[in-house]
Chains A and B, each alone.
Chain A
Amino acid sequence: AQSVTQLGSHVSVSEGALVLLRCNYSSSVPPYLFWYVQYPNQGLQLLLKYTSAATLVKGINGFEAEFKKSETSFHLTKPSAHMSDAAEYFCAVSEKEYGNKLVFGAGTILRVKS
């Protein structure tokens, strides 16, 4: 079975500050890991995915995440927060790269202060 834990249901940063959203996973098989962003009343948009290639994954909008097997983590970072980054972020894990069930974390709401 797979599971995801997102530490911190709410994270608040100042505009221009570093964004760090934490995600730890549990998986009995090599995982595929994803970060999604959701704006209010919208679907989820894929930010980036880890598919067993490079451990440092770069995504859209300046986000990146690093897969650390020893720590079973896949934290999301962005060097400088923008007001437009305020949204909810979901980490997810899957056993397969395509067309398989995604197990989601509970989500982290990011607030960006001006």
Chain B
Amino acid sequence: GAVVSQHPSWVICKSGTSVKIECRSLDFQATTMFWYRQFPKQSLMLMATSNEGSKATYEQGVEKDKFLINHASLTLSTLTVTSAHPEDSSFYICRSSYTFGSGTRLTVV
């Protein structure tokens, strides 16, 4: 079946630095990728929707300049958390069609 490979699975970074999370569709073309954030013991919050070759659509309240999304090809979408702060620590997950990536645990210290 369809597989979305997400890397890294976990990352620790210093406050003020940027972190890039990648999601690759391994055996299909992902025209659209959805990016979610999940806080501990909570449901998933949709952050943005990216379409290959066009600008991402961000949900209300999500800072576009902080969470940069790029979808340059049909198999790769990236989320960059810029100037990360401790409050950005969370679990980030991507999805294409029915398939989710394995998630990235970001800890900002």
Query: CB within 8 Å of B: which residues of A?
Result: 34, 36, 41-46, 49, 90, 98-99, 101-102, 104-107
Given contacts A46-B98, A99-B31, contact A41 B42 (CB under 8 A): no
Contact between B97 and A101, CB atoms less than 8 A apart: no
Q: Which residues from chain A contact B31 at a C-beta distance below 8 Å?
A: 99
Q: Please count the residue pairs between chain A and chain B whose beta carbons lie under 8 angstroms apart in the complex.
A: 45
CB within 8 Å of A: which B18-57 residues: 31-32, 34, 42-44, 46, 49
> How far apart are the CA atoms of A58 and B91 in the complex, in Å?
30
Is B73's CB within 8 Å of the partner chain A?
no
Q: Which residues from chain B contact A106 at a C-beta distance below 8 Å?
A: 42-43
How would you classify the secondary structure of chain B's contact residues: helix, strand, loop or mixed? strand
Candidate in A34, A36, A99, A106 with the most chain B CB atoms within 10 angstroms: A99
Given contacts A41-B91, A99-B32, contact A46 B46 (CB under 8 A): no
Report B87-98 CB contacts with A as 1/0, cut-off 8 Å.
000010101111
